[in-house]
Chains A and B, each alone.
Chain A
Amino acid sequence: MTEIILISIFIVATIVGYILINNVPSLLHTPLMSGMNALSGVTVLGAIAATAGAVILFNNGDKIFGLIFGFIAIALATINVVGGFAITDRMLKMIVKKKDKSEE
């Protein structure tokens, strides 16, 4: 049951995302891509949850692999998230600022 709900959420999110993203003008396709890129770093949430679980296991005598992997996963995903959003903002600032100038 839980699995079916999860897969339904995946499908619905994909469809809604598809509809919304279709409206993004081609002018913004590079920022869209890097913004989505940043969002794909959402896996950082999974990495944190998994690491939190691994810490408890390690403390109960399990091997250290879980911790090392968790650390790497969080770091990589964070680069993805932070770098992605910062670059997207930089690009959008660059594209949109012209508008303000011409309006003045």
Chain B
Amino acid sequence: MMDFKNLSTSDIIYLIISAVLICMVLFGIFLLSRVKKARLGNGLSAIALLAGIILVLIHSGVFDFNRDTNSLILGIVIIFLALALGSVIGIVLSKKVKMIEMPQLVALLNGLGGAASAIVGITTLALAGKSPMFSSGAFALTTAALAISVGMITLSGSLIAAGKLHRILPQKQIVLKGHQVLTIVLLVLTIALVALSGILVPTCLMSIKYLWILLLLNVVVSTLFGLVFSIRVGGADMPITISLLNSFSGVAGAIAGLALYDILLVAIGGIVGASGLILTQIMCKAINRSLIDILLGKAKKTQDAAPALEAETSEEKIEEAQTSNEVQTSEEAQTSNDVSSNEVPNQEVESQEEKDEFAALRNAKDVIIVPGYGMAIAQAQHLVKELANYLVSNGAKVRYAIHPVAGRMPGHMNVLLCEADVDYEDLFEMSDIDADFKTCDAVIVVGANDVLNPAANTAVGTPIYGMPVLSVNDAKEIYIFNYDTKPGYAGVDNPIYERKNGVHIFLGNASDTLQQALDELKKN
């Protein structure tokens, strides 16, 4: 434990180097905001952490050769064995994992980080008061107990999330009887145990010998809380859950740092916590729900909302069909001079559909591709790229519209598409491309539904109402490669499927349907 009023020279050196390393990490993150410098930034953060490990090894006396030989060797052996074991597993994991498995891997690693912080908390509590390093003051005891709680919640929550993403566990949300009450009771118990751990011993109400009872209870209760809150999260809320757990794993580290009085841990844990918080906010905004609602499982399909929704949508469908027709006619008038193929009136397109429904795609000069989680499941990103290559060779401009919650983690679609050799400059955020749906020649939807459901703008009272969606419905020609036309995760029918003109739907596994479409396109 470091007392800032009474610093030794080695403490001061430790603090200065820590401050430098914290700045290095911050600069690394700054570089991460520039695509070309991002790798350097990541490397810089990694070097800072490596330096931090060496610094701690020296500062905590692992290499203190003045100590007796037994404890010196024991310490070096244990610490380096653990470091080596962790490094080997980490490297193997990072080499083996497929890009498609990234969400569950991130979830799993979050969990491990949380577990490590929890164990640091356990060690600190278990050894409290036994040496100057492990303070038995109220601050250290409370923070150690809190590190255990947050760490265990992160661990159990992440394992459930990873299990769901890896399809070991059911994707659907599981709601227990009295789920909300249970969640709140467990949360209150956790807080109470943390508070008791910090209060009872310093006030001499309990001997430090019995602290382990609180510790064990804390581990059990916070693990249960993590389980209970994460089993209720369904597939499409996963990006938010992962972001939140990411934040938790950082906060757990920071709190463990408070318990050990280590500024490096506190600062870097805080930075990670902030990052997770930002991503969580972005995700929540993207689906127009508050974090609290998601954690408590609110705002899902309710019995009351369902009938209202039906009435709303049927009305809105008519309205929408009208507006989309208006858009189409005005667009046609505008583009008729440029692209001759688009002069074909809609009725004709319909009757021609059987002959060549790909005519619009073949002649398109401006195409937007909208990928979704279905593309990831079908592993269709390479075929998407192939299709794009064909369109480009045909003289088309191909761009990709990425909805913030497409996929199962923030940025999921970007990584998959880049894996398939798509240039990142062709990937556009929703706000940058949304206006272009009106003017593009064709839109290709691959495994996406909720993120382009126009009902989000109109169907009051449904789970997706108010969620910003891609204006795919504004496009003249839409090619949909989805598994089925069932409502997506949000459970709201998508009126685009009902649209009369310019919608071509290919149902089935996107890998198969895209291949067929590609063959068809290349035939002529």
Task: Kindly report which residue of chain A lies nearest to residue B33, judged by CB atoms.
Answer: A23
Once the chains bind, are B268 and A42 in contact (CB under 8 Å)?
Answer: yes
- Which chain A positions have C-beta within 8 A of B523? none
State the main secondary structure of chain A at its contact with B.
Answer: helix
Complex CA–CA separation, A49 to B120 (angstroms) = 9
B209 contacts chain A at the CB level, 8 A cutoff: no
B52 contacts chain A at the CB level, 8 A cutoff: yes
Among B33, B112, B267, B425, which residue has its beta carbon within 8 angstroms of that of A77?
A: B112
Once the chains bind, are A37 and B106 in contact (CB under 8 Å)?
Answer: yes
Once the chains bind, are B29 and A56 in contact (CB under 8 Å)?
Answer: no
- Which chain B positions have C-beta within 8 A of A95? 35, 38, 414-415, 418, 424
Question: A4: shortest Cβ distance to chain B, in Å?
Answer: 9
Once the chains bind, are B56 and A79 in contact (CB under 8 Å)?
Answer: no
Number of residues from A at the complex interface, CB < 8 A: 91
Query: Which of A9, A51, A55, A62 has the most chain B CB within a 10 Å cutoff?
Result: A55
Q: Which of B128-136, B319-327, B445-453, B473-481 contacts A (4 or more CB under 8 A)?
A: B128-136
Among B97, B120, B242, B243, which residue has its beta carbon within 8 angstroms of that of A73?
A: B120
Once the chains bind, are A21 and B89 in contact (CB under 8 Å)?
Answer: no
- Which chain A positions have C-beta within 8 A of B60? 48-49, 52-53
Once the chains bind, are B78 and A70 in contact (CB under 8 Å)?
Answer: yes
- Which chain B positions have C-beta within 8 A of A83? 89-91, 93-94, 105, 109
Query: Which residues in window 262-297 of B have CB below 8 A to A?
Result: 262-279, 282
Once the chains bind, are B126 and A66 in contact (CB under 8 Å)?
Answer: yes
- Which chain B positions have C-beta within 8 A of A17? 26, 29, 270-275
Query: Which residues in window 247-268 of B have CB below 8 A to A?
Result: 249-250, 252-254, 256-268
- Which chain A positions have C-beta within 8 A of B123? 47, 50-51, 54, 66, 69-70, 73
Once the chains bind, are B266 and A9 in contact (CB under 8 Å)?
Answer: yes
Task: Kindly report which residue of chain A lies nearest to residue B412, judged by CB atoms.
Answer: A30
Once the chains bind, are A43 and B117 in contact (CB under 8 Å)?
Answer: yes
Once the chains bind, are B404 and A79 in contact (CB under 8 Å)?
Answer: no
Known contacts A36-B250, A80-B90, A80-B113; decide if A2 and B427 are in contact (CB<8 Å).
Answer: no
Task: Kindly report which residue of chain B lies nearest to residue A30, judged by CB atoms.
Answer: B411
Known contacts A6-B258, A75-B86; decide if A98 and B418 are in contact (CB<8 Å).
Answer: yes
Among A14, A39, A57, which residue has its beta carbon within 8 angstroms of that of B131?
A: A57
- Which chain B positions have C-beta within 8 A of A39? 25, 45, 49, 250, 268, 271-272
Once the chains bind, are A79 and B109 in contact (CB under 8 Å)?
Answer: yes
Question: A16: shortest Cβ distance to chain B, in Å?
Answer: 6
Question: B48: shortest Cβ distance to chain A, in Å?
Answer: 9
Complex CA–CA separation, A32 to B410 (angstroms) = 9
Residues 1-39 of chain A, each 1 if its beta carbon lies under 8 Å from chain B, else 0: 111011101111111111011111111111111111111
Residues 61-89 of chain A, each 1 if its beta carbon lies under 8 Å from chain B, else 0: 01001110111111111111111111111
Complex CA–CA separation, A41 to B25 (angstroms) = 13
Complex CA–CA separation, A45 to B261 (angstroms) = 12
Complex CA–CA separation, A46 to B116 (angstroms) = 9
Known contacts A33-B243, A40-B250, A86-B91; decide if A76 and B411 are in contact (CB<8 Å).
Answer: no
Complex CA–CA separation, A55 to B102 (angstroms) = 37
- Which chain B positions have C-beta within 8 A of A18? 274-275, 277-278
Known contacts A69-B123, A78-B85, A83-B91; decide if A13 and B106 are in contact (CB<8 Å).
Answer: no
Sample 21 A-B pairs with CB under 8 A, ordered by A number. A2-B261, A20-B33, A26-B402, A28-B33, A29-B409, A30-B410, A34-B109, A37-B113, A41-B116, A43-B120, A45-B52, A47-B116, A51-B75, A55-B71, A76-B86, A78-B90, A80-B116, A81-B49, A83-B90, A92-B42, A95-B38
**8 residue pairs, one from A and one from B, having the closest CB atoms:** A78-B86, A82-B90, A29-B411, A17-B271, A83-B90, A86-B94, A74-B82, A30-B411
- Name B residues whose Cβ lies closer than 8 Å to a Cβ of A: 2-5, 22, 25-26, 29-30, 32-33, 35-36, 38-39, 41-43, 45-46, 49, 52-53, 56-57, 59-62, 67-68, 70-71, 74-75, 78-79, 81-83, 85-87, 89-91, 93-95, 97, 99, 102, 105-106, 109-110, 112-113, 115-117, 119-120, 122-124, 126-127, 130-131, 133-134, 139, 242-243, 246, 249-250, 252-254, 256-279, 282, 402, 404, 409-412, 414-415, 418-419, 421-425, 427, 429
- Name A residues whose Cβ lies closer than 8 Å to a Cβ of B: 1-3, 5-7, 9-18, 20-59, 62, 65-67, 69-96, 98-99, 102
19 more A-B contacts (CB under 8 A) besides A78-B82, A91-B99, A91-B418?
A9-B263, A17-B274, A18-B275, A27-B427, A31-B415, A33-B106, A33-B243, A33-B410, A36-B271, A40-B113, A40-B252, A41-B49, A42-B268, A43-B113, A46-B260, A47-B116, A79-B93, A83-B105, A86-B95
